[in-house]
Structure 1
């Protein structure tokens, strides 16, 4: 089922995250949160482009209107790669300056679900939101220090939410009008195996998660049973996404964050983008339904570097 992960883009990301396969450009977009950078990897030409972001980009996704949207520290922006410009669309948690946006997904109905976290990784201030009418709406789930995901089941009825420091992934029923039911424990990562990072759901409804400090990605069945484990040559594995022909290539972001000089010497590929044959297809990422009330509120230019 599983190929051996290999480096496909050497980017030395401090905190690589947010991979997204864009069927419009046939490129993989991802970010370096702590490096304030956005990357685009073109597998057809084996090339990488880089842009500077306003601050701490957590994810890049595409909207129904064709725009690229980026979640940053305290806001969602529209991003124009042609000029490297960012246009503020909506603030998020501007009353919590210690928080930042961290991870996101798009449900089959076009709803953007995203999380926030304490940038200092101490306070229980991270929450899960959905974008509704162009504005963030709190999901009502209990706050944690570091949220990851969410991910959504193929039928759009289950939200998977990760409490990274708690080492737990929760499944939450999605009801009418995107109202959430009571969370149930999906799986708990055993002590010593790392911390669950970004989750992704494949075409068979199985959930994959990166393991920060765990040297691997894992695959879980829809009922929460561990059914796959793919080792990587670097400890901090952040998130997997499917792309390429037939969405059968697994792309994996990694991080150098928290590694001292001796660890980096032992892990020269830390922070790079990896890929492997997953043996299973992923799901296309739906476009974000931006909402009629989402309007431009300002812009700033950050040319490519």
Structure 2
């Protein structure tokens, strides 16, 4: 079912690869990154103010953490970011990661663990895999052998975690608990539904449904807990990378977009590409848990 929504541009970030959008419930701002320009953006919907900080490497994600910091995934490992000082500090490497890989997307679970993926920066080799950062310790957790990882995302109760294999056009699901994660199993073959588009960053809403951006697909899609397609919303950009629920009532959808694979003619057809978009969401999201650093 196609849902009509009033989608607007809230920030013309001119992103090459906008990604990692999320709502900061403490500061009541949106954070997102431009991976290829090494930028960490913030956008305040109340004042419409915005700014970006230059990261020392390609930055895949930034998640609010306890103590007022952000935990960030860069090409060469985990960093903290101090929003007051606009300063990055290296926290730790990801053991065993190939030099040609970078970190790409992440989320927290209800216990403050951070789940994230790595990928081949050239998007060719199946050298990517998923990890969990648990209070200062990183360990492999979830699928491996993936060229482009996206997600993970976790539902509000912390019972399910979703992993995306973008190149294979697959979303997987696994059982989750405080004790750990189960084996991933198929959830949605998006290639069967959108053969010319690729599933990008996912998020779960308050009704346990999964949303995903569709790269080359000009829309976001919503799936039931059983993996059935229940809705799509058209976006005024071609390459949709990630969606998040934000606003004080978690009733606004925020969407990041990309331009890195677009030609001049594509930009003429999609003039809002590279922008941060927003729309009134038909369902609400929920507050993400702050990352625990130790």
1:187 aligns with 2:165: no
Report the equivalent of 2:49: 47
Q: Answer yes or no: is the 8 Å Cα contact 1:2–1:276 preserved in 2.
A: no
**Structure 1: distance between partners of 2:67 and 2:49:** 26
Number of the residue aligned with 1:8:
10
Distance 1:57 1:243 in 2: 21
Counterparts in 2 of 1:267 and 1:157: CA distance versus 1, 3 Å: same
Q: CA deviation at 1:35?
A: 0.7
Match of residue 98, structure 2, among 96, 99, 110? 96
* Post-superposition offset of 1:279: 1.8
Residue 222 of structure 1 pairs with residue 225 of structure 2: yes
Return structure 1 stretches of 4+ with deviation > 4 angstroms: none
Number of matched residues? 290
1:283 is paired with a residue of what secondary structure?
coil
Q: Which residue of 2 aligns with 1:302?
A: none
Contact 1:18/1:104 (<8 A) preserved: yes
2:68 aligns to what SS in structure 1? coil
Q: TM-score, normalised by structure 1?
A: 0.92
Counterpart in the other structure of 2:263: 260
Separation (CA, whole Å) in 1 of partners of 2:218 and 2:70:
31
Deviation at 1:53, TM superposition (A): 0.6
Change in CA separation of 1:286 and 1:258 when aligned onto 2, cut-off 3 Å: same
3-state SS in 2 of match to 1:174: strand
**1:47-94 CA deviation, whole Å, 9 max, x = no partner?**
211110111111111112221111100211111122221111111246
List aligned pairs for 1:35-184, cutoff 5 A: 35-93=37-95, 95-175=97-177, 177-178=179-180, 180-184=181-185
Instruction: Decide which structure has greater strand share.
Output: 2
CA deviations over 1:104-135 (Å, ceiling 9, x no partner): 00001111100000000011111100012312
Deviation at 1:142, TM superposition (A): 2.7
Q: How far apart, CA to CA, are the structure 1 residues paired with 2:19 and 2:97?
A: 25
For the 8 Å contact 1:74–1:94, the answer to whether it is kept is no
Report the equivalent of 1:301: none
Q: Would the aligned equivalents of 2:18 and 2:241 in 1 still touch at CA under 8 Å? A: yes
User: Paired residue for 1:198?
Assistant: 201
Deviation of the 1:3 alpha carbon: 2.2
Q: Are 2:25 and 2:248, in contact at CA under 8 Å, matched by a contact in 1?
A: no
Which region of structure 1 is more displaced relative to structure 2, 17-26 or 132-141? 132-141
Deviations 1:25-50 (A, max 9, x none): 11100000001101100111112111
